[in-house]
Amino acid sequence: MKKTLVLLSFNEIEAAPKVLGTVPLQAADEVFAVDGGSKDGTIAFLESKGLRVVLQKERGRGVAFRMGMEEAKGDAVVFFSLDGNEDPADIPKLFAKLEEGADLAIASRMMRGAHNEEDDQLFRLRKWVNLAFTLIANLLWNRGPYVTDTINGFRGLRKTAFEKMNPDAKGFVIEYQLSIRAMKLGLKVAEIPTRENPRAGGESTAKSLPTGVVFLKQLWREIVLGRDFAGR
Ligand SMILES: Nc1nc2c(ncn2[C@@H]2O[C@H](COP(=O)(O)OP(=O)(O)OP(=O)(O)O)[C@@H](O)[C@H]2O)c(=O)[nH]1
Ligand SMILES: [Mg+2]
């Protein structure tokens, strides 16, 4: 199975130079970056390292996932963000899950053996909200083993599965939409425990409250849509 690694970036000039050197590029047959329109030199930095950079026409992680999938020549595609949150050692493990037959392979921050950025704090609002959204998706649509982290962006997908899911989310809700649609379609979802690290520099663009509202709207939309999302 041919493997493609897609690196995701948007204004990551502080983090990307620290992260890129730790990425096992040889784990994939093809590697390129998809960038959301960085204005801070990220694109020039990636190109200086010999990487092909696909430029998005419109911002958003959902847009980036679709462009990455369109450009990917591999059947197994892993998405990795260059902000330092994700453990690069898990990239080969995600590819392995896809090769073993998973349609969607998620690096989980919530399962046994995993670590969430908030686990060192007593008050873990983001984690609890994430767990609630995950519980609802499992209750409504999952007929297979419980999926512990429906939201993490660090994941791999088979190209054929992505096409069936036909996701149209533009921003940070893309991963939740993909997880929900994998469940609706009865696709095979596999998870590996991961360790979420703090950002390696720079700033997040995922603001909690607006992102939560977008998640609620998406959840409602997926309830209304049911299985009516193919071929759009
Ligand atoms: N290609 C692409 N990548 C994006 C876009 N928006 C965000 N990203 C990347 O997606 C990753 C996650 O975004 P963050 O803003 O860090 O969101 P987060 O990880 O939820 O927030 P933190 O935990 O604070 O880091 C980062 O590597 C961003 O550079 C986009 O429009 N296009
Ligand atoms: Mg981040």
pLDDT tens digits, residue range 57-108?
Answer: 999 999 999 999 999 999 999 999 999 999 999 999 999 999 999 999 999 9
Q: How confident is the model at residue 126 (pLDDT cuts 50, 70, 90)?
A: very high
For ion ligand 2, residues whose CB falls within 5 Å? 83, 85
- CA atoms 166, 72, 92, 129: torsion sign: negative
Of 5, 6, 8, best ligand 1 pocket probe by most atoms within 8 Å of the beta carbon? 8
Report yes or no on whether pTM surpasses 0.95.
yes
| In 142-195, alpha helices (H) | 159-165, 174-184
Kindly give the distance from the C-alpha atom of residue 208 to the centroid of ligand 2, in angstroms, as a whole number. Answer: 12
Helices 208-225, 125-141: axis angle to 10 degrees equals 0
* Tokens at 1, concatenated: 């199975």
How far apart, in whole angstroms, are the C-alpha atoms of residue 143 and residue 184?
9
CA distance 204 to 101: 33
Spatial separation of the C-alpha atoms in residues 206 and 208, rounded to whole Å: 6
Helix (H) or strand (E) holding 69: helix 61-71
Question: By alpha-carbon position, which residue is closest to atom 15 of ligand 1?
Answer: 204
Type and span of the H or E element at 54: strand 53-55
User: Residue 232 above 80 pLDDT?
Assistant: no
Ligand 1: residues whose CB is within 6 Å? 8-10, 12, 34-36, 56, 59-61, 64, 81-83, 85, 199, 204-206
Backbone angles phi, psi at 41, to 5 degrees: 95, 0
For range 48-53, the mean pLDDT: 98
d(CA 87, CA 160): 26
Domains of the chain are 3-225 (3.90.550.10)
Tokens of 170: 């533009």
Picking from 113, 103, 152, the residue whose alpha carbon sits closest to that of residue 131 is 152
**Alpha-carbon Rg for the chain in angstroms:** 16
Q: Provide the mean pLDDT of the chain.
A: 96
- The label of the residue with tokens 């998005």 reads 56
